Chain A
Amino acid sequence: MSSFHLTILTPERAFFEGSAQALVFPTVDGLYGVLAGHQPELAILVEGQLSINIDGVTRQAAASDGFVTILPESVTVILQTVEWPEDIDRRRAEEARREAEEALRQRQSQQEFVLARSMLARAMVRLRVTRCASSHEPQG
């Protein structure tokens, strides 16, 4: 099977870049397949499963909505999020954890900042006080 250059991008990362033999993506009226030499087209992708055939192996990925630009030389998919299945459970779990941690940390980081700031302020006061003291009584 001949191959084409496939790029899958999200604002956060380049998910896939390389040559692929086939791409199947979901559209409003069903699955849509792309092989090398497909006619140039702009298509909308709805939330669903992407299938990518890379060197004879078909891999699935979970995708958000986005769009596909099919040009003679290359195919570009731009979407918000896309994940391999093996990353999903971990990522979901991680996201949930991150959210909880985030909520905590936001509170914590604000506190830490307040702490650091007051530490800094205290240090400054000490500095000022020692300077005053040493200028008032130069000899001990």
Chain B
Amino acid sequence: MGALQDIRHHRKVVEDTRKITRAMYLIASAKMKRAMRMHDQNERSFERTRSNIRFILESIHTPTSNPFFRPHGERTAYLVIAGDKGLCGGYNHEALRLAESTIEQTPPDKRSLFTIGHMAADHFIRKGQHPDVQYSHVIQDPTLRNAREITTELCYLFSEDALDNVYVVYTQLRNGSILTPTARRLLPVFHEDFMDAAPIETPVHGLMYHPSRFEALDMMVKHYLIGWVYSALVQAFAAEHFARMTAMYAATRNADEMLTRLNIQWGHARQAAITQELTEIVAGAEGGFRG
């Protein structure tokens, strides 16, 4: 009877685990879908902004006065985006590995480190490089407001000449199914960044500016940078939940397989137990007749 009980217990444990992984799968997939919608929405105003910037840049022939177009020294800030939690396959690991090799391109005395997500902060603390700024909880709630705060802070440091470059390391979700850790430059911005934007159809006489094209450009660049950071946050969020969804789906399926096997084992054990009992009864009965 012990074998039967063991199997039953084993089955119960697998069922419990499956409940947890299944719930995590469902939550992750809902969060991922929400993030994808946010991303699509942002993309619309972001691309329009880029088109407008492209138009202005093409219409002026002198270098712009916008401070964010000014390339200067070597001091580089890295904003590393990873998750707050594990249980999402290789998501954190891959992003952090890329982050590590990326920050090494700048000598330690010239770089500063900004992290989003506990996993990123913990990782660098373990490695002995304490992050200069940690944004906690932002990654669980990638709102426009959070993006605005982070962007404003980075832009302030840049325009106060405390930083020369800002790179962001985050994970993109390509085609809805391929996780790609990427390191991209946020600041300074260059003319080339906008040359692939869709051109706006302008009338023959060109556009008027109110109050001036330089002020228009400043405003658009501000919107562009916020949109950029918001997009990175939302993409990282989508990627994290995609990774978790995949990991939890696999775990749930494994549990299903295990349950099938256990059910078969249980059936066999039960059958064996019945057969044994029958044999014993029959043997006993035969013995009775003979005796």
Identify which of residues 120-170 in chain B touch chain A, using a CB-to-CB cut-off of 8 Å: 137, 140-141, 144, 147-148
Interface of A is mostly: mixed
Chain A residues positioned under 8 Å from B202 (CB to CB):
40, 71
Instruction: Name which residue of chain B comes closest to A120, CB basis.
Output: B20
Contact (Cβ within 8 A) A71 B10: no
A1 interfacial contact with B, CB 8 Å: no
Known: A67-B220, A72-B203, A140-B2. A42 touches B209 (CB 8 A): yes
Known: A11-B42, A12-B38. A137 touches B2 (CB 8 A): yes
Contact (Cβ within 8 A) A9 B48: yes
Q: Mark A38-79, 1 if CB is under 8 A from B, else 0.
A: 011111100000000000000000000111010111001010
Kindly identify which residue among A43, A44, A67, A69 contacts B200, using a CB–CB cutoff of 8 Å.
A69
Total contacts A to B, CB within 8 angstroms?
128
Contact (Cβ within 8 A) A80 B209: no
Q: Mark B1-30, 1 if CB is under 8 A from A, else 0.
A: 111111101100110110011001000000
Q: In whole angstroms, what is the CA distance A27 to B49 when docked?
A: 18
Chain B residues positioned under 8 Å from A130 (CB to CB):
6, 9-10, 13
Contact (Cβ within 8 A) B203 A27: no
Interface of B is mostly: helix
B93 interfacial contact with A, CB 8 Å: no
Interface size on B, residues (CB 8 A): 56
Contact (Cβ within 8 A) A12 B210: no
Q: In whole angstroms, what is the CA distance A29 to B217 when docked?
A: 18
Contact (Cβ within 8 A) B216 A67: yes
B287 interfacial contact with A, CB 8 Å: no
Instruction: Name which residue of chain A comes closest to B1, CB basis.
Output: A140
Contact (Cβ within 8 A) B210 A32: yes
Contact (Cβ within 8 A) B3 A140: yes
Contact (Cβ within 8 A) B13 A126: yes
Closest-CB distance, A76 to chain B (whole angstroms)? 6
Q: In whole angstroms, what is the CA distance A119 to B210 when docked?
A: 61
Query: Most chain-A Cβ atoms within 10 A of its Cβ — which of B21, B49, B230?
Result: B49
B45 interfacial contact with A, CB 8 Å: yes
Chain B residues positioned under 8 Å from A120 (CB to CB):
17, 20-21, 87
Q: Mark A102-113, 1 if CB is under 8 A from B, else 0.
A: 100010011001
The 19 sampled A-B contact pairs (Cβ below 8 Å) are A9-B44, A12-B41, A12-B42, A40-B203, A44-B219, A65-B219, A66-B219, A67-B220, A69-B52, A71-B200, A71-B202, A72-B203, A76-B48, A106-B140, A117-B86, A123-B13, A127-B13, A130-B10, A140-B1
Residues of B within 8 A of A (CB): 1-7, 9-10, 13-14, 16-17, 20-21, 24, 38, 41-42, 44-46, 48-49, 52, 56, 84-87, 137, 140-141, 144, 147-148, 200-203, 205-211, 213, 215-216, 219-220, 223, 226-227, 230
5 A-B pairs closest in CB distance: A140-B2, A43-B210, A9-B45, A41-B208, A123-B17
Residues of A within 8 A of B (CB): 9-14, 27-29, 32, 39-44, 65-67, 69, 71-73, 76, 78, 80-81, 102, 106, 109-110, 113, 116-117, 119-120, 123-124, 126-127, 130-131, 133-134, 137-140
| A9-B48, A12-B38, A44-B211 given; 9 more Cβ-contact pairs under 8 Å | A40-B202, A41-B209, A42-B208, A67-B219, A69-B52, A106-B140, A110-B84, A127-B13, A130-B10
